[in-house]
Amino acid sequence: MYKGSDARNISSLKLNDEIFNYLGLYRHPTTVALNIRGVYTWESNYPLLMTARQEFRVVRTYSDFELREYQPCVIAEVQVSGQYSSVGSQAFRHLFQYISQGNKASQKIAMTAPVIAAQRTDQKSSDDWYISFVMPAGSTFEQMPHPNDPEVTLRALDTQMCVAISFRGRATQEKSNQLIKELRAAAAKENIALSSEIRICRFDPPFKPGILQYNEIVIPVI
């Protein structure tokens, strides 16, 4: 941020809350500023780039989806209840604090993509959601520092076969539900049996224009 004489004539505006609702994520105190050189600069607690992604290999590519083998990983997750449009923002603060030294080792943990909103087979209510961050590749459950926040749970996932479909735009509940239905129908045509679990995976920061955002629907195979 520019200070002193450089701060003169700087117009600083808070980003509209709608930007942060693109992904349903926590609203960080982000501003966009026009400095004296006429260049827009960002200030945010949210990482501008999430370069590392959850690891998988493509087993087979079908016309409408991919069959993937996801590698073992560790996730940090928060269980929340409510409407899909709001659960992300409820959970994101807890998860972001965990990777920002909010753990027993005061360790910073790299942010990866995607941020996952899942509904699982063992949940008690249709309003229950599990929002998770995937820990960096190579992490093990034993190595990861325990969260300070009791709302955050670490969970180790084994190798898993899943089907996946990608799409651009905002990952709204309406759009996601439509694609979940299409993905299940496409998998059924190929005689691939799927779990009742669903994962809505969002890869981009919340201030990226909605039309450019990249998302995936992932469903485990049984």
Q: Does domain 56-220 have CATH number 3.30.360.10?
A: no
Alpha carbons 183 and 199: distance in angstroms, whole number? 12
Confidence label for 9 from pLDDT (cuts 50, 70 and 90): very low
pLDDT of residue 24: 40
Whether residue 17 has pLDDT greater than 60: no
Q: For residues 171 and 213, is the Cβ–Cβ distance under 8 A?
A: yes
- 106 by Cβ neighbours in 10 Å (0-12 / 13-18 / 19+) ranks as exposed
Q: How far is CA 140 from CA 52, 94, 97, 108, 145, in A?
A: 16, 21, 20, 16, 10
Q: For residues 92 and 115, is the Cβ–Cβ distance under 8 A?
A: yes
**What's the pLDDT tens digit per position in 88-106?**
889 999 999 999 999 999 9
Quick count: other Cβ atoms within 10 Å of Cβ 50? 18
Q: For residues 92 and 20, is the Cβ–Cβ distance under 8 A?
A: no
Per domain, the residue ranges of the chain are 4-43, 56-220
pLDDT of residue 122: 83
Alpha carbons 181 and 149: distance in angstroms, whole number? 35
Mean pLDDT across the chain, nearest whole number?
82
**What's the pLDDT tens digit per position in 27-78?**
333 333 333 333 333 333 334 444 689 999 999 999 999 999 999 999 999 9
128 beta partners? 81
Q: Which of 35, 143, 132 lies closest to 91 in space, CA to CA?
A: 132
**Residue where the block lists tokens 């560790």:** 74
pLDDT of residue 89: 87
Q: For residues 28 and 44, is the Cβ–Cβ distance under 8 A?
A: yes
**What's the pLDDT tens digit per position in 191-210?**
999 999 999 999 988 788 98
Q: Which of 28-32, 85-89, 106-110, 156-160 has the lowest mean pLDDT?
A: 28-32
**What's the pLDDT tens digit per position in 114-157?**
999 999 988 888 899 999 999 999 999 999 999 999 999 999 99
pLDDT of residue 51: 60
pLDDT of residue 182: 98
Structure tokens belonging to residue 202: 């969002």
